[in-house]
Amino acid sequence: MRIIRQIIVLLTLSLVNISFLNAQGEFNNWYFGNNAGVTFNSGSPVALTNGALNTGEGCASISDAAGNILFYTDGMSIYNSNHVTMPNGTGLLGNSSSTQSAIIVQQPNSNNLYFVFTVGLSSSGMYYSVVDMTLNGGLGDVTAVKNVMLCSPVTEKVTAINHCNNNDVWVITHLFDSNDFYAYLVTNTGINTTPVISSVGTVHTGSSNAIGYMKASPDGSRIALAVRYMDLVELLDFDNNTGVVSNSMVLSTSIDHSYGIEFSPDGTRLYASNGLSGGSEVWQWDVSSGVLSTITASQYLVGTPATGTMGALQLGPDGLIYFVGWGNDHLGSITSPNSLGAACGYIENAVSLGGHTGNGGLPTFVQKYMYLPADFSFVDTCFGDNTYLFVS
């Protein structure tokens, strides 16, 4: 029998801790809501009160590998580490009322160049701008490459996940009034502006149905999304080698005003938030089987927040899922998101925001192995490639 994948296990007797190949510090600082923020630099989230952002929904932030904030954005303006706008950092074509107004992708193999992808309201386009951190005395600035259109019209959805080579990055959006997914590959030479187009799943039609999050699973094998006024949660497969989206499964059409979406760290559970001012909920599905009937039968009500309308769900670098609500002065958390049912843990007021309040959004990040299990790390996981497991 031909060996398709060679597994090389390197036992390192002198080490007692796992060697993670992907630094986590890039995602440690979150700015969102009404001047709200948290940092994970100490391991657990602690309130940041120095943020300049006032955004109803969309936002994105990026730090260096050591966890030092570089810049953050609401999709319209970019703020540097001194919390002032970059000189050329205004007039971007996202919108703070867009669900996922921006996502920041570091150019592979570059220490200084970042692509800021922006998505506007309802049926606007997706654009990109380039930030060069060598400009403005090391505080960074937007270059002349600004507001370059990639496609239009799109919904308020954008997510990103590593290519299976663990170097390049796929940036994925969904077209408006269409069932087309567009996946753009970012490499060390820049953006391939010819997308991989996958026509699959639900047609997102009507401006209200542009609303709702889209996320990739941490391992890059799946995509999930919410379509708000269709009350819909959809799960699809993603090939992070080819960029193809396939195998749509509608998990529910009764999640009233679905909005937030997130996977557990191990990718076996999917969570969604929903609601308007009349009430909100957090739901869980066991998606490990890949069988629609089994998945839908596993639907579980995790919690019903007593105050505020539920907004985004976001996996943190500590392996917990955090959620936000409009006007809330705390983040909630799902404390054991890999676990089924009540064992997943639900805390409504888990993290104080230091007197500030959130709204609908939390930062959208590259789901770049946001959390790895504590017993291994890996690199080069394209089908047929050698896979190196580092165990200690």
Query: pLDDT at position 173, please?
Result: 98
Report the DSSP pairing between strands 190-191 and 214-216: unpaired
Buried b (16+ CB within 10 A) or exposed e, 152-161: eebbbbbbbb
- Residue 8's pLDDT is 32
Domain that holds residue 37: 23-371
Residue numbers of the chain with a pLDDT score lower than 70: 1-23, 277-278, 369-381, 383-392
For the whole prediction, is pTM greater than 0.85? Answer: yes
So what's the pLDDT on residue 377?
45
pLDDT of residue 277: 60
Q: Is residue 317 part of a domain?
A: yes
Flag whether 146 is in a domain.
yes
Burial class (CB in 10 A: 0-12, 13-18, 19+), 199: exposed
Confirm whether 385 is domain-assigned: no
What residues pair up with 130 in beta bridges, in sequence order?
115
pLDDT for res 207 = 83
pLDDT at 384: 54
Report yes or no on 169 lying in a domain: yes
Using CA atoms, how far apart are residues 41 and 192, in angstroms rounded to an integer?
34
CB 161 within 8 A of CB 172: yes
Calpha distance 101→368 (Å, rounded): 19
Q: Is residue 14 part of a domain?
A: no
Residue 358 belongs to domain with CATH number: 2.120.10.30
**Residue 89 CB partners (closer than 8 Å, separation 6+):** 71, 73, 77, 78, 79, 80, 141, 142
The number of domains in the chain is: 1
The answer to whether 84 touches 52, Cβ cutoff 8 Å, is yes
pLDDT in tens, 105-118: 999 999 999 999 99
The pLDDT of residue 146 is 99
In this structure, is residue 274 part of a structural domain? yes
Residue that is written with structure tokens 């060069």 in the block: 132
Is residue 13 assigned to a domain? no
